[in-house]
Amino acid sequence: MKSKNFNWLVTIFVAALTFSALLLLSSRNVSATTSNSQQVTASVNVLGTLYTDINPTSITWKNYPNFTNDTNTLITVSDQNGNIPGNIFIWGTATLSNTLNGNSIAIGNVLWNPTSSNTYTGTPVTTSQVNTLIVVAAPNIITPTTNSPIYLGANIPAGTPSGLYTGYIYFDIENVSGSNTIYSSQPSSNTLSVTVNVLSTCYISLNATSINFGTVLSGANTGTTWNGILDSDPGGNAQASIQVAGTNWIYSTNSAISFYVANTVYSGTNTISYSQAFPSNSLSLTLTSTGLTVAAPTQATPTTSTKIYFGLGVPGGAKAGAYTQNIIIGNQCD
């Protein structure tokens, strides 16, 4: 009797183990079934794209009127994250303007060039878009940013008044294929602020480098006969005060023989006599203001001028022969 009960318990135990194994196997089968997957196909159409960025975004030139800044100011034009090549286009505002004095510098005085130059050379910027034919290569995943240089230079017209003149130059990278053009996508930084700081100055140009008083007797003077010199300012922008000086008169073959610088006089007119100018308007060894001025040039009148006249008195007893003197004429900017 005890033996039968034991066999029955063993049978139940084995059956329980068998049922547990079946449950475990069933659980594993359910888990494997829920891990199955399916594939979804995605697609996108990537368009040909351009972007335009420039560096720097502002430049300032400083110079005097009638001077130029060489075409070597570098502007780097970049395409960041585009995917097709394009050409650089350039254009600008009509003028660089000074709001304080009302004057301006035409945009055509700014030149662009594909290469740097130590001279003022290139193509004028216009108000219409111009294809420079400078290519910016297509960016790619490995090189997401590409760029090309363009160089600028500026001319300051004669007679431009001093001050700050500001305008804008624009850049755009465009892909042109026949009649189809792809423009840069926005936003982009493609505007260059351009400022020209025109400094104040005056220049001097004389229409003659020598004068000849001819023959003057000892103890006599040139009377109402005057030698005129035209003092011009070709392209400055400031009024100038005329100053004069001179050296003593030196005998041609013996420098120990001379007479005074003060025997030469100046005048703003040729209608007076020598005696009216001497000694108040006599030359001295140092520059002295004459009270005469050369008006400030303007863009409309880029050259202005004033005539100054010279006369001579030869002292009594001066040795006969040829004498020479250096006369210095200077323009002091006001």
Band of the pLDDT at 189, cuts 50, 70, 90?
confident
Phi, psi of 42, deg, nearest 5: -110, 150
Residue 13 has pLDDT above 80, yes or no: no
Higher local confidence (pLDDT), 246 or 177: 246
How much is the average pLDDT of 105-121?
98
Residue 3 has pLDDT above 50, yes or no: no
Exposed e or buried b per residue across 207-227, where buried means at least 16 C-beta atoms within 10 angstroms of its C-beta: eeeebebeebeeeebbeeebb
Band of the pLDDT at 188, cuts 50, 70, 90?
low
Give SS3 for 43: coil
CA distance 98 to 141: 45
- Write the CA distances from 1 to 9, 11, 13, 111, integer angstroms: 13, 16, 19, 121
CB of 257 within 8 A of CB of 271?
A: no
Q: What is the pLDDT of residues 263-275, one digit of tens each?
A: 999 999 999 999 9
CA distance 282 to 290: 10
pLDDT of 213: 97
Residue 21 has pLDDT above 80, yes or no: no
Q: Which of 203, 263, 268 is nearest to 229 (CA)?
A: 268
CA distance 186 to 215: 80
Task: Name every residue whose Cβ is closer than 8 Å to that of residue 83 and which is 6 or more positions away in sequence.
Answer: 46, 48, 49, 138, 139, 140
> With DSSP H G I counted as helix, E B as strand and the rest as coil, what are the percentages for the chain, rounded to 5?
15, 45, 45
pLDDT of 34: 67
Q: Which domains does the chain have, with CATH numbers?
A: 53-198 (2.60.40), 205-333 (2.60.40)
Q: What is the pLDDT of residues 56-81, one digit of tens each?
A: 999 999 999 999 999 999 999 999 99
pLDDT of 179: 85
pLDDT of 306: 98
Q: Which of 51, 71, 50 is nearest to 149 (CA)?
A: 71
Q: What is the pLDDT of residues 127-173, one digit of tens each?
A: 999 999 999 999 999 999 999 999 999 999 999 999 999 999 999 99
pLDDT of 185: 86
Band of the pLDDT at 10, cuts 50, 70, 90?
very low
Residue 7 has pLDDT above 50, yes or no: no
